[in-house]
Structure 1
């Protein structure tokens, strides 16, 4: 097994086998992250000699580094072989004593991530074969080699690692059996459990779908419960858990959201953490309402901007009962072939050795991968630049929350899960829009640099660069962003965004491992761990690698 060969060192491709190489791959990703975030002052251990740039570990071992193409200046050289124990020993040696709890939690994350690689390797071929024989639904209007169902693309998206968070495979607290039974990369199906919640506790918006179970007692409301959250719900006073499961579903890429049918998702609290011990997958009661308010704001924008090829998932039907483990949201999807952006670099089940991206290009762009990516980046930046410049809005829509929708000869961008956006009240009012009454006031700011931080770290790094550079077409990113900014000339917000992206000496990054797990929260000083910055990397937009012929 070897990690997939791609253009950028930070590409999201996971290794395709097990054993020592998988461990070395994970160990290098972890050490890269610690170096990128300069945790414990690790960067001062870098040295340059006649043999190149090296990182001196606390044990005295010298690890050779090579230039990093995305997100950071240097990464572990590809031919270095590291063990996880070496890297975790380095972490323990440089950690602040105040971070002991975080270091222990991250050590557990690393062990769980390595085990997840081993499990995935054991099931990978069987899952790909199953997906190959699972045809796309006729309603997608797609046919030919490489077409998949919507949930199959979600499964394939789970084959790819997060571009920067090294232990993204980790599901803390879950057994091997639970991971294979419920994680999306294994393409399982399972039945939901249900609980009866006293009606006086329930806040609900929207009409229930026809498949919702009827209440046996009108004084209670049926709430769906993910099997992994059952133990937590049983402990909630006054809530009755039903013995019989009902409604077979399949997990989407986010794991806590499941597919009910080809056009319907159901988002549920999950009693685990991903992308950091503090990044809990439960659902705070106010989050669902804020997501619905954010969606309505974006729909108002789209009414004013009919030239944008953007669709929004309908996320207006939800309920909660004032508890992080009692809530749900029904997501309704539009017609067409829906392909998660996170799946683009994943292997195509029907064409060994090729990617989903290649199969899509073959069916929709006469085999021209560059044309497909250019079209995606054009829509992505047209939408996000207009939101930023005209309305003062920055979306936390990364590759997991974005999809391409193919249908009727048009490619559109589908956006979902908007509860993490950042919006400027002043800019909204100036544009003639009302300011949403968000329960979480952290969603509002009049600091344009805070908006730019979200744009750079989410739209640019994750939604654009990770995909385009990983596909070998990194030159398209600067070109598409330049084109999106051009119509705004000297507009102050456009000038700011250009200064923070195309013209910047360096690009801001998020300290995801430090904020999500390692550093004691009192020392972070960030109101939102998902918007904690402090790292920077080279501006890859100022380099324009040429694409290979016929790629």
Structure 2
């Protein structure tokens, strides 16, 4: 049994216990020697006091096997969940394989990232060659002559290094986050962000009459600001409004952008539109009637932490559908037809909020350019990012090879989230960023981030009735001028939850979202998103993982004090600082295990678990000092 298996088995058992799947907690016994859990094999394993989010976890010395844990899962599951239990077993085995594949290549990947960080390869082709000199399946991972590499220099290269490092760390809650269901080793290494690969995109000819979208395709014509309705609505427009003339590059001028008829060898037909296609999605798109996948790859891409979103320019990402699942079998990485438009509408709503709240140092990614052809695997969105060095919040706890991390420390990475305030012995991206931008003051950098995070999200919720699913993957710190505090970058807003009544009361029009699930006037539903996303994932996982958990309650207290007396602020305080327990999401249950009939309409908003209030612990201790 490997260390990776012991680590994964312990995380899986702890997650099942946290969600009390199948009444697992009823198997716990207590005596003078402590708390134990009886497994299906009859073995009683010791439980340790919970870290964040739950009361008890598997004790580290127990040496669990994955087979023991999955056997116990099968015994407590009901017959209606048999399919989900089998799927989760495969997900866990895929996660274990993912750990092993990364462990076997970590030194190679770290070398590649160091080269990228140091600016190795002044040209895109050289950088791609450093990333992966091979070729597979018609995807030229090396760029080379004739390729159009969107990866630029400077901050753009550093940004993609941070994205890959973020993929080294595991999800704070979901135990099998290393799994990418549907991918073999070769494809995982070629396209997953933790391996820092480079590859070229494929392209499909799509009948123009099927396509709706907004904005100008990057590089298809000189960029014009996207049109928007002052009310916040974003129309779905036919692409007849899009020019089809020669390319003059991305708005930044750093890439040749969209292929066009003016590009040598590319077909030009006004009846068709070219869609970028991820190489992994080619088999699916090739089977769509009336759509032709072209043989010629074009435009070098590098995966971000999201994997389905790739960097194609220093300030440009493309979000593309993938035929895989992550964080649960039900979490398909396809793109539903209405999602892109709803994300654009949400962004315009948030931009109006920021126009009214100029003191908030928050910047939104531009996600107004997208297209869809009515199929979940035929769509794309272009994301334009602001200037500066962009550090994803998800990367902060990842080990940093930029500060001399010994490679054995990268074999197994899990969140360090306890109440002991133990500072990590391995340098992390957070330490590296603090040294570069905050004079080495890690606590000060974290405190500033938490102030920004809570000021933004509390004001959104209290004043406007908006809660964002902006977890650590969708947030970043943007550093521009030396010595100045970072801004908070927010992206991927299609998971918004908003109250129509509160928006109208604030004088804002209710956007015409196509997904009715994003609108609710239930204040507790809004608070659930705040607690499980903003508090648990964006704040606590980072601060406690860095050993500075005491900063969280203080930052939240300050943000709530700004709205003292407001009914929503009182509710939020009752649900956070003053609560006996904090709500959590049952991610494994909803994402894979449970029969669909027992899961919330939105699997990402399936609650039903709770854990100890880590805020009360620190808040009360501070008050007594």
TM-score, scaled to structure 1: 0.93
**1:509 is matched with which residue?**
584
CA RMSD of aligned residues (A): 1.6
Per the TM alignment, residue 309 of structure 1 is displaced from its structure 2 partner at its CA by 0.7
* Equivalent of 1:105 in 81, 84, 87: 87
Matched, 1:449 2:524: yes
Per the TM alignment, residue 69 of structure 1 is displaced from its structure 2 partner at its CA by 2.2
**1:214 is matched with which residue?**
260
* Equivalent of 1:275 in 287, 309, 327: 327
* Equivalent of 1:291 in 318, 343, 346: 343
Per the TM alignment, residue 136 of structure 1 is displaced from its structure 2 partner at its CA by 6.3
**2:614 is matched with which residue?**
540
- 2:553/2:619 contact within 8 Å kept: no
- 1:315/1:330 contact within 8 Å kept: yes
**1:14-93 to 2 correspondence within 5 Å?**
20-93=2-75
**1:15 is matched with which residue?**
none
* Equivalent of 1:488 in 563, 568, 586: 563
- 1:131/1:148 contact within 8 Å kept: no
**2:225 is matched with which residue?**
none
- 2:554/2:619 contact within 8 Å kept: no
Matched, 1:224 2:233: no
User: For the structure 1 residues 454 and 513, does the alpha-carbon distance in structure 2 shift closer, same or farther, using more than 3 Å as the test?
Assistant: same
Matched, 1:95 2:147: no
Unmatched 5+ residue regions in structure 1?
1-18
| 3-state SS in 2 of match to 1:200 | helix
Per the TM alignment, residue 544 of structure 1 is displaced from its structure 2 partner at its CA by 2.1
- Counterpart CA distance in 1 for 2:153 and 2:509 is 36
- Counterpart CA distance in 2 for 1:405 and 1:224 is 28
- 2:157/2:314 contact within 8 Å kept: no
- Counterpart CA distance in 2 for 1:506 and 1:305 is 32
| 3-state SS in 2 of match to 1:413 | strand
- Tell which deviates more after alignment, 538-547 or 298-307: 538-547
* Equivalent of 1:322 in 371, 374, 386: 374
Per the TM alignment, residue 209 of structure 1 is displaced from its structure 2 partner at its CA by 1.3
Per the TM alignment, residue 189 of structure 1 is displaced from its structure 2 partner at its CA by 0.4
**1:57-456 to 2 correspondence within 5 Å?**
57-135=39-117, 149-210=158-219, 211-215=257-261, 216-351=268-403, 352=405, 353-408=426-481, 409-456=484-531
Per the TM alignment, residue 363 of structure 1 is displaced from its structure 2 partner at its CA by 1.6
- 1:475/1:546 contact within 8 Å kept: no
- 2:365/2:385 contact within 8 Å kept: yes
- Counterpart CA distance in 2 for 1:463 and 1:140 is 29
Q: What do the CA deviations read for 1:121-170 (whole angstroms, capped 9, x no partner)?
A: 0111221122122236799987xxxx971011000000110011110110
- Counterpart CA distance in 1 for 2:52 and 2:314 is 35
Rg larger in 1 or in 2? 2
Q: What do the CA deviations read for 1:477-528 (whole angstroms, capped 9, x no partner)?
A: 000000100011110000000000000000000010000000010122x111
- Counterpart CA distance in 2 for 1:22 and 1:51 is 28
User: For the structure 1 residues 545 and 148, does the alpha-carbon distance in structure 2 shift closer, same or farther, using more than 3 Å as the test?
Assistant: farther
**2:131 is matched with which residue?**
none
- 2:167/2:305 contact within 8 Å kept: yes
* Equivalent of 1:530 in 592, 600, 604: 604
- 1:140/1:337 contact within 8 Å kept: no
- Counterpart CA distance in 1 for 2:444 and 2:171 is 25
| 3-state SS in 1 of match to 2:299 | strand
- Counterpart CA distance in 2 for 1:29 and 1:333 is 35
Per the TM alignment, residue 539 of structure 1 is displaced from its structure 2 partner at its CA by 0.2
- Counterpart CA distance in 2 for 1:186 and 1:546 is 44
| 3-state SS in 1 of match to 2:300 | strand
Per the TM alignment, residue 80 of structure 1 is displaced from its structure 2 partner at its CA by 1.3
- Counterpart CA distance in 2 for 1:111 and 1:192 is 29
**1:7 is matched with which residue?**
none
- 2:117/2:161 contact within 8 Å kept: no
- Counterpart CA distance in 2 for 1:174 and 1:461 is 30
| 3-state SS in 2 of match to 1:334 | coil
| 3-state SS in 2 of match to 1:375 | helix
- Counterpart CA distance in 1 for 2:217 and 2:288 is 24
- 2:448/2:485 contact within 8 Å kept: no
**1:3 is matched with which residue?**
none
**2:413 is matched with which residue?**
none
User: For the structure 1 residues 307 and 141, does the alpha-carbon distance in structure 2 shift closer, same or farther, using more than 3 Å as the test?
Assistant: farther
**1:10 is matched with which residue?**
none
- 1:228/1:271 contact within 8 Å kept: yes
Per the TM alignment, residue 545 of structure 1 is displaced from its structure 2 partner at its CA by 9.4
- Counterpart CA distance in 1 for 2:178 and 2:284 is 23
Task: State how many pairs are aligned.
Answer: 524
Unmatched 5+ residue regions in structure 2?
123-151, 220-256, 262-267, 406-425
- Counterpart CA distance in 1 for 2:563 and 2:44 is 49
Per the TM alignment, residue 28 of structure 1 is displaced from its structure 2 partner at its CA by 0.5
Per the TM alignment, residue 237 of structure 1 is displaced from its structure 2 partner at its CA by 0.4
